[in-house]
């Protein structure tokens, strides 16, 4: 099931990562190289901090696509994996479990909103 979720999110993440890395300023990379920085130092001190918003948002989109995915979880899991969307569906099908399904759904929405908000704040935070 992990491979199925990765295949689902991979195109979106690749596009976001390509855009993030394409927008890195090349003058900073060449300046670091001219000042004698090693390739590892250039990667961790110039490229990754400049591409942090795009990299972080790619991770967020992969999480959002996988978190609430019902169809691939139900087909790929074969009924052995119990994810939150499958739990909500089972509670609704049970008939008398509507309040419990509503609580699980609201907790899913709240956790998604908190995760998205914290991730965006971390991606665009200022150094200092």
Look at residues 68, 56, 53, 57 and name the one whose alpha carbon lies nearest to residue 5: 68
Q: Is the CB of residue 36 less than 8 Å from the CB of residue 46?
A: no
* Confidence at 4, pLDDT banded by 50, 70, 90: confident
- Backbone phi, psi, residue 13, to 5°: -65, -40
Predicted local confidence at residue 115, as pLDDT = 93
Does 66 or 39 have the greater pLDDT score?
A: 39
**pLDDT at residue 21 above 70?**
yes
* Domain assignments of the chain as residue spans, ordered by start: 2-123
**pLDDT at residue 109 above 60?**
yes
Quote the tokens at residue 102: 């509503």
Predicted local confidence at residue 96, as pLDDT = 78
Predicted local confidence at residue 128, as pLDDT = 52
**pLDDT at residue 69 above 60?**
yes
**5-9, 70-74, 85-89: range with lowest mean pLDDT:** 70-74
Q: State the helix-helix crossing angle for 48-67 and 98-123, rounded to 10 degrees.
A: 170
DSSP conformation letters of 63-116: HHHHHT--HHHHHHHTTS---HHHHHHHHHHHSS-HHHHHHHHHHHHHHHHHHH
**pLDDT at residue 76 above 80?**
no
> Tokens 């200092």 map to which residue?
128
**pLDDT at residue 77 above 80?**
no
What's the mean per-residue pLDDT of the chain?
86
Q: Is the CB of residue 101 less than 8 Å from the CB of residue 92?
A: yes
């Amino acid at each position: 099931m992990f491979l199925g979720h990765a295949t689902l999110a991979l195109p979106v993440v690749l596009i976001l990562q390509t855009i993030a890395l394409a927008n890195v300023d090349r003058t900073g990379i060449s300046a670091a190289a001219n000042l004698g920085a090693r390739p590892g130092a250039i990667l961790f001190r110039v490229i990754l901090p400049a591409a942090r918003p795009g990299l972080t948002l790619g991770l967020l989109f992969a999480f959002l696509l996988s978190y609430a995915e019902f169809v691939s979880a139900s087909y790929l899991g074969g009924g052995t994996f119990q994810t939150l969307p499958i739990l909500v569906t089972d509670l609704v099908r049970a008939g008398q479990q509507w309040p419990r399904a509503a609580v699980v759904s609201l907790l899913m929405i709240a956790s998604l909103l908190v995760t998205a908000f914290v991730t965006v704040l971390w991606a665009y935070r200022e150094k200092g």
